[in-house]
Structure 1
Amino acid sequence: MAPEYSQSTLAAMSLTMFCLIVWYRSRGPPLDHIPSMGPTAPVAAYISAIYFLFNAPAVVQKGYERYKGSLFKIPRLNYWEVMASGYESLEDIRKASDDVLSLDGALREILQTKYTLGSNIADDPYHIPIIQSQLTKSIPGFCGDIHDEIVAACTEAIPCVGHEWVAVKSFQTVVEIMCRTINRVFVGLPLCRDNDYRALISKFTVDVVKCAYIIRICPDFLKPLVGRLVTTVPSAVLRASKHLGPLIEERINTSDSTDAVKTDLLTWLIEGSQDDERSIEMLSRRVLAVNFAAIHTSSMIFTHALHRLAAHPEFAQALREEVEPVTAEFGWSKTALDKMKRVDSFLREVLRVDGLGMIALPRRALKPFTFSNGMSIPPGTTVSCCMRSTHFDEEYYDDPNTFNPFRFSDPPSNGANTSKQGHKQMVLTGADFLSFGHGRHACPGRFFASAVLKMLLTHVVTTYDVKFEGEKVPRQFFINGVLLPGRGNVMFRKRSAST
């Protein structure tokens, strides 16, 4: 008898075997000369890509140990990604010109910007020099607003009563505080405190990442259709326009008059916009895109830091001993932040050990490229660096598997070095520290992010005692190479005058 099929012929034979294994893994460039972490046959490689989704650390670390100083490739669902390891290979990528190894090309592929954020964001990234220049230069003037918003946001999000402990969901609470604080500088009061606006901003990043992933694993000929079906950006832009529209009109009118112009990122975006970009819709889209880059990355980093504090109360006490005399003398200012060496070291160590994931410096090869070791990659190749493996390499760090919060600040004890690279600031990049990228494409907002993270950390350690709810520490977990902080509750208690 002929076999019986059901469920719409087994969902059209599993969507024709997932579009013939995403058209034979998108028929990418020939990479047979580069060793693989996993089988290369179509179906087997697809299974390996699924394995990588949940086991990225083991896959990348094995490749790093086996091929350090060279190249290897890892399986993604619809392509092979080449991993460069070792100092020389990282320097090769850093020095390569944009018309050969393109960050923009890699981000377009990763984020599927044509269908998610919008092509105009990638085609005309005029917000980047604004962040690099005007925002960074204005950090000292914003410190008062940042501290004010952190105090207000923490008071609301962490409802401590008396000297009693209160439990809050750590990541969700940090996102709420970050969203308010960052948007105090981006769009100002009162919008940064608007519940609907904050909910939109918080959700937008998650929606974009989900949509980008769905679109990315589809064959190219299906992407326009899938993009229209899954993207939430048009509705998000419409919702954002309702909040931002009155502000944008007010700022434009103010700039054309003799009245004082409000200083915030939105005003600078308006001033830097040209032609079609100078509209409520396009400026709202731009504000969403900048928030996309800022909110969840900063929130994940600080949640990791908060969990370190909750697991080790002695870290908080050591930080207080530095913060309290500095703020007593200099207040909550940029000068004070610059003097907090332990605070800076603590956050840099969080970035080194926890960070955001396995991989950094993504590039798309637009032309053939040959590394110093003689290995070449053809056009169309996606190449990245092994960030986490580098951060745990004994060549660069003493005792790299140990979280040493003051590795970059305290002088060595008993003549022993705490770090082979010496004392370096949180924002300083290098071939041995890739959390903010490296070279001319290093994260443009890292100075602003550093100020916000430091200000929030100093407020938490001077205002609260922190511990986990119960003895169990929330377990971190990797999804597709991204390290997510463990989900769970953290307990807060207002510090008494005697503690």
Structure 2
Amino acid sequence: MSFNSLTPLSQALALGAIFLATLAVPRFLQWRARMNKLNAIPTVGSDGFFSSHISARRFKNHAQEIITEGYQKYPGQAFKVPLPDRWAVIVSGNDMIEDIKKASGLDLSFQEAITDTMQTDYTLGLPARIDTYQVDVVRSPLTRNLGARFHDLRDEIAASFADLIPAKTTEWTNVPMLFTVMQIVSRTTNRFFVGTPLCRNPDYINLNIEFTIDAFQGAQTLQRYPTFLKSIVRQFMTNVPSCLKRATGHLEPLILERLQKEEEYGTSDWPDKPQDLITWLLDEARERRNDLIYNIVSRVLLINFAAIHTTSMTFTNALFHLAANPHLAQPLREEVESAVNELGWTKAAMGKMRKLDSFVKETQRLSGLSGLTMSRLALKDFTFSNGTVIPAGTIINVASHGMHHDDAVYEDPDALKAFRFSDMRVKDGESIKHQMITADPSYLVFGAGRHMCPGRFFAVNELKALLGHFENDGGFPPNDWNGGSASPNRFAQVMFRKRVASA
């Protein structure tokens, strides 16, 4: 009997059977196999079909407690938590962390995890994912030039504090801390990135502050739509295109001026060439001059995205801890003054500030910016050394908040011990260890392994310079948690008064 001889109803049934056999059934079996592997991993919260959605909503505001519960209940193991659109697997213990560090990017991908969660192709720019030369710029010329450009960094810190925190000697000034710090950090960072006068331009300052928020909100919007609609959604339902347009208006004249100089002198090494982020990106992009303006502008935004908010939140947390513990001001001040008297306001002086480095590192351990780190997307089924199987398509993270508050790792883990790490460096053979920038398996603020934050050298030196400038009661305001991310209290204020130098 031929297919054409069947009745229309029989033909429809036959086509439906073919569809089930070739598409639907294999996909169902694949999904069931994946779920069987996930079901083998214990759940914190509910794992029922409907109740898991209730737990997913709870994770938004109670991630800190959920991560801590899982870390304590399943030490050195994996557990999973429900999110609105997927299951996230969270791991802990040195062995599992080492497995992640050693894993190939073809098995556990950092880049694909960021691409998925941040929708980077539509928010931060597809070219920056395909050709990541901006990472080489941060690792090499940006970090290498920090010493030579440190005077500019210090000059902008002093100028921005004077403009934004006009403290007086006769009375206290209340300052809404987080937003003020963001403006200071935006100015200071961009003095190094693009120079004056652009780093002081109010619209450019606000653009870089707003872009991070717009990118995160845009990513959340884009995640709700299929791939074929994302370009349209990005254009009409996010603020990302308008941010890019504003940034282009500010940066294009600088880029064109540099290109004109190259053409005028017939070389990329022309006299008085500025040493800044635009120059370093143009140098790195010498063989990649297609759509150059967009490529440079999107990368400047991306690097600002990575630098400004993390530094601002870290600095704000440190200020909150210092204001809540005023007895720390004097020993920190003495160390800063000693280093500056010896070496001036230089990168070398920052290296002498061991107590300050320890204080910043300790406040980050205690407060942090996230309860999770080392995000990876499993591109294929991955088996940890303890036998735990993570199915392909699953995002995994390390429970950094649990580790940083573990009494088996840190003595009195919930207490602020400002000089915890500098005291460790006094011991024989430990003088260069325990710095904030140094890889440490028990301290995961900057991640670990190949993908450890390349901008940490700039960030830590900037933080120490900022805190070194700050002259210092109250309790520490609790962080605001949103899922696995934490940020300093947005409404807390700090009181400032200019210190009168002793005779």
Structure 2-normalised TM-score? Answer: 0.88
Residue matched to 2:469: 459
**1:271-325 deviation line (CA, Å, top 9, x unaligned):** 1124355522221111111101110011000000000111111111110111111
Residue matched to 1:435: 445
Give the whole-Å Cα distance in 2 for the aligned partners of 1:251 and 1:293.
Answer: 25
Residue matched to 2:435: 425
Residue matched to 1:77: 84
Give the whole-Å Cα distance in 2 for the aligned partners of 1:104 and 1:479.
Answer: 22
Given candidates 237, 262, 282, the residue that maps to 2:274 is 262
**1:372-405 deviation line (CA, Å, top 9, x unaligned):** 1011112111111000101111222111111101
Given candidates 130, 137, 145, the residue that maps to 1:130 is 137
Residue matched to 1:158: 165
When structure 1 is superposed on structure 2, of 140-149 and 206-215 the one drifting more is 206-215
- Equivalent residues of 2:372, 2:401 under 8 A apart: yes
Give the drift of 1:37. 1.2
Alignment of 1:41-440 (within 5 A): 41-218=48-225, 223-256=230-263, 257=265, 258-273=270-285, 274-277=287-290, 279-410=292-423, 424-440=434-450
SS at match of 1:167: strand
Give the drift of 1:145. 0.7
Q: Quickly say closer, same or farther: Cα 1:248–1:497, change in 2 above 3 A.
A: same
Give the drift of 1:91. 0.5
Residue matched to 1:19: none
Q: Quickly say closer, same or farther: Cα 1:497–1:480, change in 2 above 3 A.
A: same
SS at match of 1:81: strand
Residue matched to 1:481: 484
Q: Quickly say closer, same or farther: Cα 1:162–1:422, change in 2 above 3 A.
A: closer
Specify the code of the residue in structure 1 equivalent to 2:389.
Answer: S
SS at match of 1:34: coil
**1:320-356 deviation line (CA, Å, top 9, x unaligned):** 1111111011000111110110011001101111111
- Equivalent residues of 2:234, 2:240 under 8 A apart: no
Q: Quickly say closer, same or farther: Cα 1:384–1:477, change in 2 above 3 A.
A: same
Q: What is the number of equivalent residue pairs in this alignment?
A: 463
Specify the code of the residue in structure 2 equivalent to 1:383.
Answer: I
Give the drift of 1:78. 0.3
Structure 2: state its 5+ residue gaps: 1-27
Structure 1: state its 5+ residue gaps: 1-23
Give the drift of 1:61. 1.0
SS at match of 1:290: helix
Q: Quickly say closer, same or farther: Cα 1:107–1:403, change in 2 above 3 A.
A: same
Residue matched to 1:9: none
Give the drift of 1:133. 1.1
Q: Quickly say closer, same or farther: Cα 1:55–1:408, change in 2 above 3 A.
A: same
SS at match of 1:204: helix
- Equivalent residues of 2:281, 2:296 under 8 A apart: yes
Give the whole-Å Cα distance in 2 for the aligned partners of 1:309 and 1:235.
Answer: 38
Residue matched to 1:444: 454
Specify the code of the residue in structure 2 equivalent to 1:43.
Answer: F
Specify the code of the residue in structure 2 equivalent to 1:85.
Answer: S
Residue matched to 1:37: 44
Runs (4+) of structure 1 moved beyond 6 Å? none
Give the whole-Å Cα distance in 1 for the aligned partners of 2:227 and 2:53.
Answer: 17
- Equivalent residues of 2:169, 2:499 under 8 A apart: no
Give the whole-Å Cα distance in 2 for the aligned partners of 1:448 and 1:89.
Answer: 29
Q: Quickly say closer, same or farther: Cα 1:313–1:27, change in 2 above 3 A.
A: farther
When structure 1 is superposed on structure 2, of 75-84 and 481-490 the one drifting more is 481-490
- Equivalent residues of 2:212, 2:309 under 8 A apart: yes
- Equivalent residues of 2:324, 2:475 under 8 A apart: no
When structure 1 is superposed on structure 2, of 402-411 and 148-157 the one drifting more is 402-411
Give the whole-Å Cα distance in 2 for the aligned partners of 1:324 and 1:437.
Answer: 32
Give the whole-Å Cα distance in 2 for the aligned partners of 1:191 and 1:422.
Answer: 37
